Structure 1
Amino acid sequence: MSQRLLPLVACHDNIASYQEPAYYADLGFNAVVFEGLGYGTGTPDPEATQTALDAVGVELIPEVQGLGHHGPAALDPEALEVVGQTATCPALARTYERVYQTMAKVINQDTKRIHIGCDEVRYINLNSACLATGKTNAELYAAYVRGCYRMARHFNSNIQVMMWADNMQPATQIWSYLKVTEALAHIPKEVILCMWNYGYDDYDDEGNWFLNTSRLATRIPLSIQWARHSRHKFTGSPRYESVGCNLWMSNLKNAYGSGADCLGVIATNWGGSRAGDAIVTSLAYGD
């Protein structure tokens, strides 16, 4: 395989679609962002998973979801007073206790990076616990990120902390109602911003989904511009369709080549989509 064009070429996977370590190595990935590792019984053993990936030269980046659409590590039904709400309350101590317990399972002194999720946060500052703080949505959001950052550094003082940043970036207009854009100013500069750029899906007159490539082509450069201006290190995160991969990778390689703090790409892999992974890997290496 030719020389790598981006330093980080990671696969974003979860318990349902996780493959054997050789799968990732064969495709050229040098890391796996593993969502759901350490959440409880029935999940892979974190230490054994790291050992197996280390053996094929692939870094394990555990993703500990607390605040977001998929946060069973910290989900607390007692805190949810809004009908239909499935997000975690960032104002309760037990939210952080459960995230802490999960981090304790997946972080050791060899863990280089950890991902704290924060994707698709649909609700915030709606129940009595949040409202009693008197804080804005952005302040609560930033406080949660800082709390996770401190906990991760407690277990490993050198660990790098990553997060999905779509809720904060203006280009992703689907989340503008949350009003958390200003949270960025209150998040440690060491936190790596991972952009997925939701909100480029559209539906035709008959309700059928399609990928709005013109919207995507506009928003990806805006997302990268936003990340560069923030002075945080950042990644881009295409899903597994070819158009999105091509658009993301061309923009990321341009950013990396121009000296931006672009670490690389995290490609989502729900369902073991080899075709999509192969596209990302090929583009990342320039083959």
Structure 2
Amino acid sequence: MDTSEKFCFCTLAVGDRYRAHAKMLAQDIQTHMPSTTLCILSDQPEQFKNFSHVLAFKHHLQSVKGYHDKRFVLEKSLSLFESCMFLDSDVRVLGPLVEEMNWSPGITARAGTDLVKHIQNMKNPKEIEVIKAAAQKLNIDLQQLKWLHEFMFVMKRQNGLERDFFELWQTISYFFEMQGIYHSECFTIGLAAARIGMTFDFFREDKFPFFKDKIERVRIQNGQAIIQEKQIYFDIHKQIEYPKRSLWEKINNKLSKQVVFYYRLFRLRVFIKKDPNYYKIFG
């Protein structure tokens, strides 16, 4: 497979933290897979101009807390490439490919399980209630649904189904956000895929060595990794996540986030009125 023409990595990098992470990711890919494109949606795409393998596009967040904006990243990437792998911006690529990336059409996730199994470990009853309500509105049996960990997953064009998938993802995301659940993209992806009949599978073996803080902690707990070998990546991640700020900067940042949050809640209602499918399904 010629990854340079048919496949790209992609990520979302809006805000200082995420752009800083994405620059590290861009450098990693340039080092280990220089012929593979990284497609980035960012509020400041010009910050990636020094990376020749990066395609960076201007983007302002549309969802209430940004989680559902992954769909715009995927949509843009699939308009340019046959398949793409979404990576959280704070994923680090630590080496070249160890296994060729030949993907089946639809969605293929690195980690996940059946939704009913995942629900057993969920601690938020409201979240479970909303998932069940959404499935009922969409006439989907919970037993059919898959759940993925959204830090790494692949999409490949599937006979144009992806267009319906992205449209339905948007509509379902509005329903979750109206219930006060903003990080629900992992559930929305499963619901949208099941509703339109998009293939949904998993790949359990790493295609390349990587670091993701939450995943690495699980590996360390399970004796699958040694913390000393990955400590440098934990340290870099922490420096980006928790930069030193003055008290005034912290207060200003908190107030700004609140203003933006309430603005997006108001805007959500405007978006819903413009979505012809929302009231047909959830009205």
Q: With structure 2 as the length reference, what TM-score do the two structures score?
A: 0.26
Of Structure 1 and Structure 2, the greater helix share is in 2
